[in-house]
């Protein structure tokens, strides 16, 4: 199974350490690792906040879509009733015309 690159939502550059008040090159490996984990943790918190905002936005879009769908369904029901009435009138007209033709013969 190949790795799906579309599944990556993190920018690899976002995980790189940035220069801070201390000189990162002079720190020992443990502290650089801690810095990297802290940076990753902050990135995860930011991603989670963004996810929450997108989730709320999507929920509102779904609500709008459902309201429009309900309105569309109501309009379709009305059109169906109108079409059924029209078909009934056409059926009556056809039957009466067939009866008229029978009488003429």
Given a cut of 60, is residue 36 above it in pLDDT? yes
Confidence of residue 18 (pLDDT cuts 50, 70, 90): low
Rounded CA gap, 16 and 28, in Å? 17
Given a cut of 70, is residue 47 above it in pLDDT? yes
Listed in sequence order, the DSSP H helices in 1-105 are 29-104
Indicate the pTM of the whole model: 0.42
Neighbours of 43 (CB within 10 A): 14
């Amino acid at each position: 199974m190949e790795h799906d690159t579309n599944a990556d939502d993190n920018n690899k550059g976002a995980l790189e350490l940035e220069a801070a008040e201390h000189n990162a090159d002079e720190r020992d490996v443990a502290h650089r690792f801690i810095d990297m984990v802290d940076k990753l943790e902050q990135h995860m918190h930011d991603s989670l906040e963004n996810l929450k905002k997108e989730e709320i936005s999507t929920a509102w879009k779904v609500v709008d879509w459902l309201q429009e769908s309900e309105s569309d369904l109501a309009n379709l029901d009305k059109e169906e009733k109108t079409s059924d009435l029209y078909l009934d009138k056409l059926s009556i007209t056809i039957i009466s015309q067939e009866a008229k033709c029978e009488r003429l013969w």
